[in-house]
Structure 1
Amino acid sequence: MKDPSIRRSLALFRAFRHEQEDPEACYSLLARDAADQVEAYGGPVKARTVVDVGGGGGYFTEEFRRRGAGAYLFEPDVGELGPKPPAGSVVADGYLLPLADAVADVCFSSNVLEHVADPQTFLSEMVRVTRPGGLIYVSFTNWLSPWGGHEWAPWHYLGAERARARYRRRTGRPAKHTLGENLFAVHIGPTLRQVRARDDVTVVSARSRYWPFLAEAVAKAPGLREFATWNLLLILRRCPP
């Protein structure tokens, strides 16, 4: 996949800046962009089975369905589903999906890995439900990126508790995320080593999800990648048994 354009990166950045007041526009754009990435690596999703793990309000599921996929949303937090989740949505933990082995052509997870306490078990479950030859799409915001602290970034560089306290003083409300409860410090180097050590997947690509140039090169630079990548995108292929 060629590096995306600067124009595309700027559009996503502008959408993220207005996420709180206009989530519909933000996540609809992100869903279209993510579906484009899936199709760039795995071909059209039409008539294929897509499993969306932790997809929140269902923006990704709905976009895959618009493209003709049989897409299914599995979300553990009822509050994240919103008032009108996609039909057939299932409340389910990503550690234990209520699916048989090898049922998905594409197993998809956008910005979920940093919200689970055991990323490797989460990944293993995604691999389990993907058919041999199928695609696994995983992106996550690494802790040391400028957005690692989510709504209280970039002050997380000075410590999580200090950053959360500052957020409360500034906004008058508690932060949504708490380190060690629903946000975890996931790093690129250890994650890549663990994934590459697996014998049930091959790494098709490891790249910055939003970076407009040298997206794969940035993710290959130890140290630098932890700060410059912003968000790591892993494209994995399920190996034959």
Structure 2
Amino acid sequence: MAATDLLARRATLSRSLRLLSEFRFEQRDPDRFYGALADDTVAMVTDLWTAVHGTPPSGGTVLDVGGGPGYFASAFTDAGMRYIGVEPDPREMHAAPALQRGEGAFVRASGTALPFGDGSVDICLSSNVAEHVPDPWRLGDEMLRVTRPGGLVVLSYTVWLGPFGGHEMGVTHYLGGRRAADRYARKHGHRPKNDYGSSLFAVSVAEGLRWAAGTGALVAAFPRYHPRWAWGTVQVPLLREFTVSNLVLVLRPS
């Protein structure tokens, strides 16, 4: 069975519209937004693992690189997986409600220098983090290193030229990253949290596909929030940079 066969059945237009409607709550109600995203992420990871291995990933260890305040911890724990979150920002990590409840484990570290041994986890996940580090493919290499042979690496990131590439700056990022960030600062009186050049970087579909193909471990690439009938856009140069808002790369180390 192909890695995406089970996931494809859930990749409906109604799911896409449901997730899209939650994006408007990211800033003002993060619990609602990230709660919905966590549930969908666990379902995605479970589908990918089950399609490859024939059984669900219950009992496996999932390493969430750049897990922030741990919104995914409860969802993965409820699904029967051992959750480890990695986050470099102590303010984000200590805000984790899951940490207070004792759900999962949390480690302060950089995703580009993971403090774990080779092949030490079953699943390594990074959700919407690669666009926030200056060397996203070093992060990807580290994710592959710590994942055991036969495990899964799921690297998902926001594409710069897609409609959400500017994050809270909106579509002004099409004017240029620095110009959009400066414009945001003038309007709001402070720099954006996702500030171009320091905490937000331009990452393309083409770059991700090129890196993943070079590892020899790529098993699937698809747009995270699109219905199945739109997945083919990943294969169309230039068009994909504007239409694939978030790219998922699935790799299986050998």
Please tell me the TM-score bracket, short chain as reference.
Answer: over 0.9
Alpha-carbon offset, residue 38 of structure 1: 0.7
Letter in 2 for 1:49: T
Alpha-carbon offset, residue 82 of structure 1: 4.7
Question: 1:55-90: per-residue Cα shift (whole Å, max 9, x none)?
Answer: 111112221111111111111111222523534311
Matches within 5 A, 1:1-241: 1=5, 2=8, 4-43=11-50, 44-85=56-97, 86=99, 87=102, 88-199=105-216, 201=217, 203-239=218-254
Aligned residues: 237
Q: Does structure 2 retain, via aligned residues, the 8 Å contact 1:47–1:69? A: yes
Alpha-carbon offset, residue 35 of structure 1: 0.8
The runs of 5 or more residues in structure 1 that have no matched partner are: none
Determine helix, strand or coil for the equivalent of 2:202: coil
Question: 1:117-163: per-residue Cα shift (whole Å, max 9, x none)?
Answer: 11121111100110001011110001111111111021010112332
Q: Distance in 2 between matches of 1:55 and 1:115?
A: 13
Letter in 1 for 2:250: I
Q: Distance in 1 between matches of 2:109 and 2:133?
A: 14
Q: Distance in 1 between matches of 2:58 and 2:175?
A: 46
Alpha-carbon offset, residue 169 of structure 1: 4.0
Which segment is superposed worse, 24-33 or 6-15? 6-15
Identity %: 43
Q: Distance in 1 between matches of 2:207 and 2:230?
A: 19
Q: Does structure 1 retain, via aligned residues, the 8 Å contact 2:212–2:249? A: no
Q: Distance in 2 between matches of 1:27 and 1:45?
A: 22
Letter in 1 for 2:35: S
Letter in 2 for 1:27: Y
Q: Does structure 2 retain, via aligned residues, the 8 Å contact 1:45–1:64? A: no
Q: Scaled by the length of structure 2, what TM-score is found?
A: 0.89
Letter in 1 for 2:34: Y
RMSD: 1.5
Q: Does structure 2 retain, via aligned residues, the 8 Å contact 1:51–1:73? A: yes
Alpha-carbon offset, residue 30 of structure 1: 0.4
Q: Distance in 1 between matches of 2:41 and 2:207?
A: 24
The runs of 5 or more residues in structure 2 that have no matched partner are: 51-55
Determine helix, strand or coil for the equivalent of 1:124: helix
Which segment is superposed worse, 146-155 or 1-10? 1-10
Q: Distance in 1 between matches of 2:93 and 2:229?
A: 35
Alpha-carbon offset, residue 17 of structure 1: 0.7
Determine helix, strand or coil for the equivalent of 1:192: helix
Alpha-carbon offset, residue 216 of structure 1: 2.6
Q: Distance in 2 between matches of 1:24 and 1:67?
A: 19
Determine helix, strand or coil for the equivalent of 2:252: strand
Kindly indicate which of the two structures has a greater share of residues assigned to helix: 2
Determine helix, strand or coil for the equivalent of 2:248: strand
Q: Distance in 2 between matches of 1:220 and 1:132?
A: 27
Q: Distance in 1 between matches of 2:162 and 2:137?
A: 20
Q: Scaled by the length of structure 1, what TM-score is found?
A: 0.93
Query: What's 2:53 paired with?
Result: none
